[in-house]
Amino acid sequence: MGLPLIGESLQFFAPNTSSDIPPFIRERMKRYGPVFRTSLVGRPVIVSTDPEINHFVFQQEGKLFQSWYPDTFTEIFGKQNVGTLHGFMYKYLKNLVLNLFGPESLKEKLLPQVEQAAKRNLNLWASQSTVELKEATANMIFDLTAKKLISYEYDPTKSSENLRESFVAFIQGLISFPLDIPGTAYHKCLQGRKKAMKMLKDMLKERRTMPENCQGDFFDYVLVELKKEGTILTEPIALDLMFVLLFASFETTSLALTLAIKLLTEHPHVLKELTEEHEAIVRSRENADSKLTWEEYKSMTFTAQVINEVVRLANIVPAIFRKALQDIQIKGYTIPAGWAVMVCPPAIHLNPAKYEDPLVFNPWRWKGMEVNGGASKHFMAFGGGLRFCVGTDFTKVQMAVFLHCLLTEYRWTAVKGGDIVRTPGLSFPNGFHVHILKKNI
């Protein structure tokens, strides 16, 4: 259980450059088996790398388990964030989000908007000598999502109002040791949150005073809900939700896209087959310049396999937490009431018993498998159970459409960077710099 109070937190947060199961988890699996206990940031935690137990934990949410995150996460994401809300309130917020990012909205509105954003940005990047892909894709997705959620567009004349910058400070300390003193990553993270929340609050206030200024964005939904008699939505809950949605939408997808381009650069045979799939889509059109359709998106079978393989290897979410609501007996173990359970996706995704040569980038392993479905016992890149990520389809659309625009019109070469560090979340400490060129040049 480690040292008093801090437990084994220092070992858990220690940076590593491995793409395998994190050393912290791997060493303890060897020593204690697939389920073991530890103490992280002051809480006793049961770590499960067992697919059956993980599946059981997700399926029993709201009955034997509930969503739980360490106090530090609650500090970061807000006391009323969607991860800490349960039951009816959680379902209510989920439906609010699905109005904007659900299948209907994806087909009708988001697909063309994502394509437009990808084309505009790629065109811009091709005019530069090099582009740092992680930062560039994060900016592209942030601009798109912020516009959709809160009709926010960055105005360089108002330097104090760069919402994206507040999120950069926030991300740098997100999965860091929780020491809130000036100079630490965690302190910067809390400051970044404070700044972003102030801006969101001011925007909401401004919109409340101008009800006629209807934008058709998420703020509009929120304002309508807040006015309803007997509403369960409060302003703090709405603002925390907005914050989490903005963060989750751009940070995770830009990491996945950067890793995708890095892996495609390193695996020309995968790149070749993927390019062929996308070029065939363009060739089969009556008008080569027509916009991407929903049917074309759904026909990208190899692309779906590539995306699944990228997110399996990315393990962007290194841990998913739940809390036991009572003593639970399972597979010879007792999980005591009140203890946290940490489900470990990397241990599932890199399990050699399920995935042959688990560290190898091999999209063909998904051939014939149901890749459009949700989570399974052996695949939880987007969570599982009741809290399966509501943005899953939006993320997949963004990745597929970006790859389509890139592969049909551009080529690229890696310039520098691309090293990976996990703390335990994925990061590219020195970025991934590429040179992008139009194909006909």
Has residue 433 been placed in a domain? yes
Contact between 124 and 405 (Cβ < 8 Å): no
Contact 240, 80 (CB under 8 A): yes
Round to whole Å and give the CA distance between 110 and 394: 8
Sequence-distant (≥ 6) Cβ neighbours of residue 287 within 8 angstroms: none
- For 191, counting Cβ atoms within 10 Å of its Cβ (0-12 exposed, 13-18 middle, 19+ buried), the class is middle
Say how far apart CA 285 and CA 124 lie, in whole Å.
26
Provide the 3-class DSSP secondary structure of residue 421.
strand
Q: At what angle do helices 235-266 and 163-172 cross, to 10 degrees?
A: 70
Task: Supply the range of the domain harboring residue 139.
Answer: 9-438
Our count of domains for the chain comes to 1
CA distance 142 to 248: 10
> What gap in Å lies between CA 68 and CA 90, rounded to an integer?
13
Structural domain includes residue 431: yes
Question: Is residue 189 a contact partner of residue 173, using CB atoms and an 8 Å limit?
Answer: yes
Is the distance from CB of 416 to CB of 436 less than 8 angstroms? Answer: no
Tens-digit pLDDT string for the chain (441 aa): 888 888 898 898 888 999 999 999 999 999 999 999 999 878 899 999 999 999 999 999 889 999 887 776 777 777 767 666 667 777 888 887 888 888 888 998 899 999 999 999 999 999 999 999 999 999 999 999 888 888 887 665 554 457 887 777 777 666 566 778 888 878 888 888 888 889 889 988 888 888 777 777 888 888 888 888 888 888 888 888 888 888 877 888 999 999 999 999 999 999 999 999 999 999 999 988 899 999 999 999 999 999 999 999 999 988 999 999 999 999 999 999 999 999 999 999 999 999 999 999 999 999 987 644 455 889 998 888 777 788 889 999 999 999 999 999 999 999 999 999 998 889 999 999 999 999 986
- Residues sharing a CB contact under 8 Å with residue 376, sequence separation 6 or more, in sequence order: none
- CA–CA distance, 266 with 263 (Å, rounded to integer): 5
What six digits make up the tokens of 106? 């994806």
Helix (H) or strand (E) holding 278, with range, is: helix 268-283
Report if residue 141 sits inside a domain.
Answer: yes
Q: Is 132 part of any domain? A: yes
Say if residues 345 and 318 touch (Cβ distance below 8 Å). yes
Distance set, CA 20 to CA 23, 351, 430 (Å): 8, 9, 20
Within a domain: residue 4? no
Domain annotation covers residue 3: no
CATH code (residue 128):
1.10.630.10
Residue type, 279: E
Decide if 133 contacts 125 (C-beta within 8 A).
no
Query: What span, in angstroms and rounded, lies between the C-alpha atoms of 329 and 99?
Result: 39
The sign of the dihedral angle between the CA atoms of 327, 331, 332, 335 is: negative
Query: Nearest 5°: phi and psi at 167?
Result: -70, -30
pLDDT number for residue 42: 80
- The closest of 274, 255, 313, 244 to 400, measured between CA atoms, is 274
CA–CA separation, 420 and 64 (whole Å): 37
- Establish whether 389 is an annotated binding residue: yes
The Cα–Cα gap between 340 and 322 comes to 6
In a domain, 103, yes or no: yes
- Reference 358, options 19, 34, 17, 15; nearest CA is 19
Give the model's pLDDT for residue 155.
64
**Six-digit token pair at 255?**
């990491």
Note whether residue 1 is domain-resident: no
